[in-house]
A = this chain, B = another copy of it.
Amino acid sequence: MPTTRRNTRQAPPLAMPAEPQQAERHREARTARASALLEDYVELIDDLLATGGEARPTDIARRFGVSHATAIKAIARLKAQGLAHAKPYRGVFLTDAGHLLARRVRSRHRLVVDLLVAVGVPQDVAENDAEGIEHHVSDAALAAFEAFLRQR
């Protein structure tokens, strides 16, 4: 068990998050990023179904500004994860799990926007930023947001 071998050193001296905590933190951020896309798709499909009655791949692609091929591949992943079902040429629909997820995502989205506005972020900026932020807000933080908003 050597003491100062160059290639064995670790633990930098000054103030930084502990190594395992930081690793865990980044692992979470990575998985959040991974699920963010599918959450966005579920949210959009739910919106389209609610307002327009149907969610077609081309609609989805246009909304997201991607090619229809990209949208179709994403839909395939949604189906693989049991969040949506679709028969060829018949539009996309959400499973129960998909609906549940959509509701959670939407309420989280609203809460994030409300909080941003409450601390002085302009409405349109809040809407924009929330799109990215919402996927990284934990339940604990959401609870705090709710309390903050209720209390003033």
Contact of A23 among B28, B63, B133, B138 (CB under 8 A): B63
A 116-152 binary contact with B (CB < 8 Å = 1; else 0):
1001111001111101110111101100110110000
| Chain B residue contacts of A16, Cβ below 8 A | 47, 51
Binding site for B on A (CB under 8 A): 10, 12-17, 19, 22-29, 32-33, 36, 40, 47-48, 50-53, 59, 62-65, 115-116, 119-122, 125-129, 131-133, 135-138, 140-141, 144-145, 147-148
The 3 closest A-B pairs by CB, nearest first: A132-B136, A12-B52, A23-B65
Supposing A62-B19, A145-B119 touch, asked if A51 and B13 sit within 8 A by C-beta, the answer is yes
Identify 22 residue pairs between A and B in the complex whose beta-carbon atoms are under 8 Å apart, listed by A's number: A12-B51, A12-B59, A14-B51, A15-B51, A16-B47, A19-B62, A24-B65, A26-B131, A27-B65, A28-B132, A33-B36, A115-B119, A116-B141, A119-B145, A120-B144, A120-B145, A121-B140, A128-B138, A129-B136, A129-B137, A131-B136, A133-B133
Chain B contacts for A65, CB-based, 8 A: 22-24, 26-27
- Cβ of A122: which chain B residues have Cβ within 8 Å of it? 140, 144
- Which of B63, B126, B131 sits near A19, CB closer than 8 Å? B63
CB of A115 to closest CB in B, whole Å:
7
Q: How far is the CB of A13 from chain B (nearest CB, A)?
A: 6
A112 to B100, CA, bound (A): 29
Are A125 and B148 interface neighbours, CB within 8 A?
no
